[in-house]
Structure 1
């Protein structure tokens, strides 16, 4: 069906008698081979890199912009899962919060984007000593 209609989700959904959002979601979830079992070191590194890029971008953008996709703590897990390509976005999100993030973030005491905001503030301050940072 997708080969015939391409990305025309409305036509595909109409032909199947389904909602286009559900058809597109099912296609996105099932289009790639999803691994089960132990995570590789390469997957861990890719998650760190992708989350860091996403957080950096979100720390710099206008927070009033409308976000799309699965978000938790303002992280675009849907896009990260798509870029990782080997795991479902919900599994990537769970792995991040269960094993890879800082305990302060997990407990809600600190946001991942606060790291980047702090670095940017320190850079803008152009401090030369700890006294200036304090």
Structure 2
């Protein structure tokens, strides 16, 4: 893989591996650029923007697991991230298993994004 996302993973692995403790009640949100669920404690204010860019395919793959529709094209990102920063809080098992709550948050976010995009396209 030569994509920037893949290249940024090793550079930020130490920082991401240090984000290992879950917050008491982290906020779960839908991230438009990745189409994925993201927990508020998975990055810190000091997390470099390129690390966030690198996490987007990881978040997207994890969300595909939550949806029970694994995306094979994103599996290399997931596996590489697991290898480079295995202690990252984003790999917690409960963050990759389907649950009614996670599916509700995902569908609400995805629907909101699609409605917003439809509205913007209708305005043209």
TM-score (norm 2): 0.30
Structure of higher CA gyration radius: 1
- Where relative contact order (Cα < 8 A, 6+ residues apart) is larger, the structure is 2
The TM-score normalised by the length of structure 1 is 0.28
